[in-house]
A and B are shown apart, each in its own frame.
Chain A
Amino acid sequence: MREHVHVAARRRDERLALIRKITLWTTGVAAAASLGLGAAFAHAIPGHAASTASTPRPTATPSVSASPASASSAPASSSSANPSSSASKSAQLAQPRQLPTHTAAPHAVTSGGS
C-alpha cells in the first residue's frame, strides 16, 4: 500500500516538474519573441536604422512649418537618381512637423495602436 502511495507521489511530482519546465520555456520563448518582434518592427521601417540625425540632405523641401501637407508635398529634388528613395528620405526629414510637446509627440513615422 505504501509503495503505491510513493509511486503516485513520485508520478505527481514528475508531472508538476513537467508543468514548471514547460511553463518556464513558454515564458522564455514568449519574452524572447516579444523582444525580437519589437526589434524587427523597429528596424522594418525604412531608414530607421540609418538615423534621421545623419547629415541632412540638401533638398528643396520648404522650411519646417505647422502644415504637414506643405512640408511633405514637395518631393525632394535632390541629386538622388532614385525618386522613390529621395522621396522617402525627404519624407523622413519632412515628417516632423513640430517640436514634441507634452501632450502629443509627433513622429517622423507615424505610430499607431496595436
Chain B
Amino acid sequence: MTGAASSASAAAGQALVAATSGPSPLWYATRATGVVALVLLTITVTLGVAGTARFSSAAMPRLVQSGLHRNVSMLSVGFVAAHVLTAVLDPYASIRLTSAVIPFRSHYRVLWLGLGTIAFDLLLALVLTSLLRNRLGYRAWRGVHWLAYASWPIALWHGLGTGTDSRLPWLLLLDALCVLAVGAAVYWRLRLVRPGRLRVTWLVATAAIAVATVVFVATGPLQPGWARRAGTPSNLLASASPAAAAISPSATHSSEPSVVAAGGQ
C-alpha cells in the first residue's frame, strides 16, 4: 500500500515536473533560424560572386543582382541575430551574450560555437563596412568584403559542429546544396580569372574546403559520440544519456536523445 502510494505520487510528481519543464521553444527557434540563416547566407554569397563576375541577363540585370544581394544580406543578418538571441535566451546551454561576439568563451561546444561567433563577427564587419562604404573608400571596403569568402564556410562548419540536426538527412542534403551552390559560383567566377598561379590557388582552396567539409561531416557529426567529442558539458551529457539509452541505442552518443529518436543528432 505504501509502495503503491509512493510510486503513484512519484509518477504524479514526475508528470507535473514534465509538464512544467520541457524543451524550450527558444531551442526550436534557434535551430530553425539557424537553418534559414545559412540558406540566406548562401544566397547572399552566390549573388555576390555573380556580381563580381559581372553576370547579367535579361531576367536578372546587374542592378537587380546588387540590390538583391544587399537586401538578402541584411535579411540574413536579421535571421542570424534572431538565431543568436534565441540561443542566448535558451537556458539549456547557458550561452552568454558575450559569447555571441567574443569567440571561444562559451563552455558549450567551445570550438564549434566559437566558429559561429567568428562568422557572426565577420558578418557584422561586412555589413557595417558596406553601410559606411562611402566614408571608407572602395579599397578598404573591398578588403573587408573578401572576408565573406571566409565567413560562409565558417558558418557552415558551425552549423555542422554545433547543430542538433546535423544528422537529419534533409538537412545534410540542404547543406550539400549550399556547398554546391557556392562552390559552383566560385568555380564559375574563377574561370574568368586569367590562367595562372592565382587561379590555381583559389581553385585548390575551394576544392579543399569542399572536401574538408565532407570529410569532417563523415568523421564528426555522423559518427556516434559526437556530442561528447564536440565539447558538450559533461553535466548536460549526463542528464541526456540515460534518457537517450531508454529511447534509442544510438542516442547514447548524443545529448539530444529525442531528436535522435526523431532522426536528429
Q: Which residues of A contact B (CB under 8 A)?
A: 12, 15-16, 18-19, 22-23, 26-27, 30, 33-39, 41-42, 44-48, 51-64, 68-69, 71-73, 75, 84, 87-88, 90-100, 103-114
Contact = CB atoms under 8 A, between A and B. Distances in A.
A16 B61 CA distance: 11
Interface of B: 6-25, 27-36, 39-40, 43, 61, 63-64, 67-68, 71-72, 75, 79, 82-83, 87, 90-95, 108-109, 113, 116, 158-159, 162-165, 227, 232, 236, 238-240, 242-243, 245-247, 255-259, 261-264
Highest count of chain A CB atoms <10 Å: which of B22, B227, B257: B22
A1 to B, nearest CB: 22
Contacts of B17: 64, 96, 98-100, 106, 108
Given A23-B68, A35-B32, A63 B6 contact: yes
A107 B257 CA distance: 12
A100 B116 CA distance: 29
Most buried by A among B36, B93, B113: B36
Contacts of B33: 34
A93 B28 CA distance: 21
Given A37-B36, A110-B257, A112-B164, A95 B243 contact: yes
Given A41-B28, A41-B31, A75 B246 contact: yes
Contact of A112 (B16, B116, B246, B256): B256
Contacts of B163: 113-114
Contact of A96 (B9, B18, B28): B18
B175 to A, nearest CB: 14
Contacts of B18: 52-53, 92-93, 95-96, 108
B258 A105 contact: no
Contacts of B71: 19, 23, 26
A19 B65 CA distance: 8
Contacts of B247: 46, 84, 87-88, 91
Contact of A30 (B14, B79, B93, B159): B79
27 contacts: A16-B63, A23-B68, A23-B72, A23-B75, A33-B35, A34-B33, A36-B32, A38-B28, A41-B28, A41-B259, A45-B262, A46-B262, A52-B15, A52-B18, A53-B15, A53-B16, A61-B11, A72-B242, A72-B245, A84-B247, A91-B243, A93-B14, A94-B242, A106-B17, A108-B22, A113-B93, A113-B162
Contact of B13 (A51, A63, A95): A63
Given A33-B36, A46-B262, A15 B22 contact: no
A38 B25 CA distance: 8
Contacts of B8: 56, 58
Among the interface residues B14, B17, B31, which one has the most CB atoms of the partner chain A within 10 A? Answer: B14
Contacts of B116: 114
Given A16-B67, A69-B238, A69-B242, A109 B15 contact: no
